Structure 1
Amino acid sequence: MILDHVSKWFSKRTTHSFKEAFINWAKRKSVRTQQFQALNDVSFTIHEGESVAVMGLNGSGKSTTLKMVSGVLLPDEGKVRTRGRVAGLIEVGAGFHPDLTGRENVFLNAAILGMSEKETKERFDQIVEFSEIGDFIDQAVKHYSSGMFMRLAFSVAIHVELDVLLVDEVLGVGDAPFRAKCNAKLREMSENGVTMMIVSHSAGQVRELCSRGIVIRKGKVVFDGHIDDALDVLNGK
C-alpha cells in the first residue's frame, strides 16, 4: 500500500443556517466557501502483512487517510495504490440499510466488500456466531444499538477473504469481552499475513496490535516509526 504525495481539500461553507441560506438564495447572493486542507502532501508505504496504527488528535486527518485507502475518497493531488481486496470498518453501520434485517444486511454488506452470494451463504453461520447477535439477526437494523451494528459489521468484514483491513475507532463501541475477542481476531489475521491500518485512541490496543505508528498532525505526517516512539510523539514527549 502506497500513499504518494497525497493532498485533500474540502469546501467549508460560511453559511450556518437554512434561514441564512434561503435569504442568500432569494437575494441571488452566492454562498462563500473556504477551502480546508485535510491532508497535506502525505506519503508513506505499508508493506504486505504489516499492522500500522494511524494516530492523531481529532481533526488531524487520520480518518480521511483511511477513506483514501478504502477508495471512499479520491485525492486531489498525489496517488494511492493498494493491492488485493480491501475491507474497511470506517464508520459504524456504513453499508447497512436501516429498513433491512440483519440477515439481509449481511448479504448486502458482504456484496459491497466483494463476496459472492455463495461465499456469504457458506460463511453466514460463522458471521452470526461471531457477532453474537442471536435472534436479532432477523430484526431491522434500525432497532440495533451502535454496539450491535459494530458487532455485525466487524463480523462480516473479518469473514471476507481480504488482503487489507482498515479499522477506524469502531472497536471502541461495545463491551470489553467483545472488544477483547475482536483484538484476538485481529492478531490472528495479522499473523496470517493480512495488512492492517488501525485508527485508535487506545494506547493499549495499538501497542497490542501494531509494531509501527504514523502520527498525523494538521494533515501532515509528523512521525513514522516504532509504535512506542509514535505514542510518545502523540503525547508530546
Structure 2
Amino acid sequence: MTTMIKVDNATKAFTLSYQRSLKQTVLAKARGRKTHDTFNAVDDVTFSVHEGEAVGLMGLNGSGKSTLLKLISGVMRPDSGSVLTRGRIAGLIATGTGFDNNLSGRENLYLNAAILGMSRAETDRKFDEIVDFADLGKFLDTDVAYYSSGMKARLGFSVAVNVDADIFIADEALAVGDRPFKRKCKKRMDEIVASGVTMFYVSHAPGSVRTLCNRVLIMENGRLGFDGDVEEGIHYLHYDDNGDDSGDDDELGTDI
C-alpha cells in the first residue's frame, strides 16, 4: 500500500513574547524578567497515512492541528524530524489564503489555481465548473477587497476542490460559509473521498467525522494522543457526551 504522508518525529516550535515594544523588552531584561518563552505547537509527532485513507484530525483549540496541517501542506517546515508527502496537495488551511485584495475574483481564481499547481490550460478547462460552484454571480469581476469572508471562502474552496489532487486537506475552510454552501462542500468532499483521494480533515463535529473519515488522529498539547478508530477517538475526546452529533453544523476550528 502506497504511503502518501509520512510524519517522523516532527517538532515545530514557536516563540511567545511577553512584551509588545522594544522599550518594554529592554526594561524587562534590566529587571531580570523573562521577555519570551518557546513552546512546541507540534511535539515529536509520528504517523503515516496510506493512499485512499480519509483521516479526521481532532483536538481542542490550541492542540496543534493547524500547525500540523501546515507542515503537511509545505507552508511550514519542521524544526526537527521530517514530513514527507507524495503527489499534488490541494485544499485550504485558512480562508482567504493566497488572495490579492487588489485583484478581481476572476484574477484571484487564476492566481489560486496557479498556487495549487494548476496550469493555465487546466484552469481554463475547469473555469466554468469553478465559477458555478463558487456562485459569485456578478461579483466575479469585483475586487476581492470588497468580498465578505464567506465569498472568499466560496471562491477559495471552489478552486481547491477542482484541483486534480492526490491529497486533499481542509481546515477552517467551511467555518464562515452559510449552511447551503457548507452542505455543498460536504457533498463535494464525500465525492473526493469516494474517488480514492487521500483526505485530511480537521473538525470538531463528531457527526461529520463519522460520515467522512475512516480513521482519526487526536492532538493534545502538540502531541499525538490517539490514532485509530473514529468511534474510539470520539469517545477519547468525550465528544460523544455532549449530544453534538450534527454534520450539517460542522465548523472547522481555528487552531495553532
Paired residue for 2:69?
A: 66
Shift of 1:64: 0.6
After TM superposition, the structure 1 = structure 2 runs for residues 194-213 of structure 1, keeping only pairs within 5 Å, are: 194-213=197-216
- Is contact 1:13-1:31 (8 Å) kept? no
Q: Which whole-Å CA distance do the structure 2 matches of 1:28 and 1:56 have between them?
A: 36
Q: Which whole-Å CA distance do the structure 2 matches of 1:31 and 1:109 have between them?
A: 42
What is the SS of the residue equivalent to 2:91? strand
Paired residue for 1:162?
A: 165
- Structure 1 unaligned runs (5+)? none
> One-letter code of the match for 1:201?
H
Deviations 1:212-236 (A, max 9, x none): 1111100111111111111111127
> One-letter code of the match for 1:213?
V
Paired residue for 1:11?
A: 15
- Runs of 4+ aligned residues of structure 1 deviating over 4 Å after TM superposition are 23-31
Paired residue for 1:88?
A: 91
- Is contact 2:28-2:35 (8 Å) kept? no
After TM superposition, the structure 1 = structure 2 runs for residues 29-40 of structure 1, keeping only pairs within 5 Å, are: 32-40=35-43
Deviations 1:188-221 (A, max 9, x none): 1111111110011122211111111111100111
TM-score normalised by structure 2 residue count? 0.87
> One-letter code of the match for 1:99?
N
The range that moved more, 31-40 or 160-169, is 31-40
- Is contact 2:168-2:197 (8 Å) kept? yes
- Is contact 1:56-1:215 (8 Å) kept? yes
Shift of 1:54: 0.5
CA RMSD of aligned residues (A): 1.9
- Structure 2 unaligned runs (5+)? 242-256
Paired residue for 1:50?
A: 53
Deviations 1:117-145 (A, max 9, x none): 11111111110101111111111111111
Residues 81 and 100 (structure 1 numbering): CA distance in 2 closer, same or farther, change over 3 Å? same
Shift of 1:22: 3.6
Residues 7 and 135 (structure 1 numbering): CA distance in 2 closer, same or farther, change over 3 Å? same
Q: Which whole-Å CA distance do the structure 2 matches of 1:187 and 1:166 have between them?
A: 13
Deviations 1:12-50 (A, max 9, x none): 1121x33xx245469997983211111111011111111
TM-score normalised by structure 1 residue count? 0.93
Q: Which whole-Å CA distance do the structure 2 matches of 1:27 and 1:171 have between them?
A: 42
Q: How many residues align?
A: 234
Residues 27 and 185 (structure 1 numbering): CA distance in 2 closer, same or farther, change over 3 Å? closer
2:6 maps to 1:2: yes
After TM superposition, the structure 1 = structure 2 runs for residues 134-145 of structure 1, keeping only pairs within 5 Å, are: 134-145=137-148
Q: Which whole-Å CA distance do the structure 2 matches of 1:99 and 1:26 have between them?
A: 41
- Is contact 1:51-1:190 (8 Å) kept? yes
Shift of 1:108: 0.5
- Is contact 1:92-1:153 (8 Å) kept? yes
What is the SS of the residue equivalent to 1:169? coil
Paired residue for 2:102?
A: 99
